[in-house]
Amino acid sequence: MTDHALRQTVLLMTDATRWDMLGCYRDTGVATPRLDQLAASGMRFERAYTTQPVCAPARSALFTGTWPHTNGTWSNNLAPGLDVPTLGQRLRDAGVAAAYIGKWHLDGTDYFGNGRCPDGWDPAHWYDMRTYLEELTEDERVASRDPATVDGIDVEPQFTYAHRCTERALDFIRENSDRDFLLVVSYDEPHDPGITPPEYAAKYRDYVFPHDDNVLDTLVGKPEHQQVWAGPRLMEDRSGGYERRDRHYFASQEFVDGQLGRVLDAIDEQTPDALVIYTSDHGDMLGSHRLRAKGSAMYDEIARVPLLVRLPGVTEPGGVGAHPVSHIDVAPTVMEHLGLPVPAFLQGRSLAPALADPAVRVSDAVFVEFGRYEVDHDGFGGFQPMRGVTDGRYKLVVNLLSDDELYDLVGDPGEMVNLIAVPEYAGVRDLLHDRLLEWQNATRDPFRGYYWERRPWRTDARTATWEHDGMTRQRPDDPGYQPRLLDYVTGLEMTEPVRQK
């Protein structure tokens, strides 16, 4: 038994859950009672953002504490670089147990993973999607990937990935309740194919997700690549109404909410003082702006995510954090809670001050990026470099190969009117742009360059030069994982990582 107060963290995730699918954010008719209870017993962040609205890049930031452009996972089917430790490695090296159960998507192979436990995480509890599929017969594998399965057979909870992940999570909590640990439970649900017991799908057979005015967006004045993304939907006549139906998706959200509830019950019974975090990697457009799924946009439908946090004795029940925060802040929050130093190499800030006082603003602005949807697929627009920033009121998006965007999130929460060229907003636009360029420099964005500054609307942009800022921006120190970097000119240890070249 440990001789100090236990420091335990459970990070719960679902895949493709929109922020407004939870009842604690918006009453849509999708039942999420257990997540709503978590919000009521802890804190809800009103404006939390993913780092990139695609599975693997989003996860790379959560589990390395670095931006996708820093760790190398700027697309699905790419893995973080060998010089970027994961939370599992950092905690293992500090003597803290770390287990990962569920969808990983960070080994550089495919959607399901390679079935091998990554370094640092407990192999006794490792369980990715390939591991699940290998438990099934070939016929069962095919059935597990076909939404029609719900209508063809009587699916038992035990058949689903969510249930099997939950069972393993309960085992871990029971076996480790007397020690410090990080447990990640990463569900694939409600991501398609949305396999659930039939009563869930039946409940949502006639369900329609509430109408938002931005499903009528004609994308006039919006980026060209979004118009290409919309395709035939751009010409649809939606004046007579537009219904958003996807019974497997919504049913799967309710089903996984129940599975999350089973884990929350175990936490309450066996590790009641644990830090509990719930989030999703990204959302889903669901027809808003005539777009589907997720991709190269910073619309709230896909970039804004649910984030619920409970830390007994710290978070006030029912607390609401109104200021914007980011997934990049999760890793330093976990490390600080576990009593470990947060290395300078991590690029976020601990949310601890905001957990104690929701009025505290951890960051002046948060950022979202995009590189490519998936290396293996030729679709999804290919390479679409995007960098975006929001201060909570305004949102600026620079689409390097397309057109840029500015939205007033208070006056235009549906993000219908692009203000990028409106003179009255030039001041706030340019200030956000300056923040974006500073962030690219601070995070050593490998795609940075004069072209991000020289946008058509930025009339005071500097003249393009090959040297641009002319700075060297070496990697910050990461004690225990990389030696201090050397100065190229002298061969001696660098004194300042950022200096004139």
Any idea which residues carry the catalytic annotation? 55, 105
> Which candidate, 104, 23, 112, places its Cα nearest to that of 58?
104
Q: What is the DSSP string of 304-359?
A: EE-EEEE-TTTSPTTEEE-S-EEGGGHHHHHHHHTT----TT--S--SHHHHH-TT
| Phi (first) and psi of residue 399, to 5 degrees | -105, 100
The 10 Å Cβ neighbour count of residue 203 is 16
Distances from the Cα of 290 to the Cα of 19, 81, 226, 284, 384, angstroms: 19, 36, 9, 12, 18
C-alpha angle 68-70-75 in degrees, rounded to nearest 5: 30
**Is residue 226 within 8 Å of 418, Cβ to Cβ?**
no
Residues 6+ apart with CB under 8 A from 207: 29, 30, 245, 247, 250
Three-class HEC string of 293-314: CCCCCCCHHHHEECEEEECCCC
Question: Angle formed by the axes of helices 330-337 and 55-64, to 10°?
Answer: 30
The 10 Å Cβ neighbour count of residue 401 is 15
> Tokens for 260?
């999350």
**Is residue 67 within 8 Å of 61, Cβ to Cβ?**
yes
Kind of pairing between the strands at 48-49 and 304-305: antiparallel
Q: Is 438 helix (H, G, I), strand (E, B) or coil?
A: helix
Please list the alpha-helical segments (H only) found in 99-206.
129-133, 138-144, 149-152, 161-176, 198-203
> Which candidate, 413, 41, 10, 14, places its Cα nearest to that of 250?
14
**Is residue 393 within 8 Å of 432, Cβ to Cβ?**
no
Q: Hunting for tokens 């993973």 — which residue is that?
A: 113
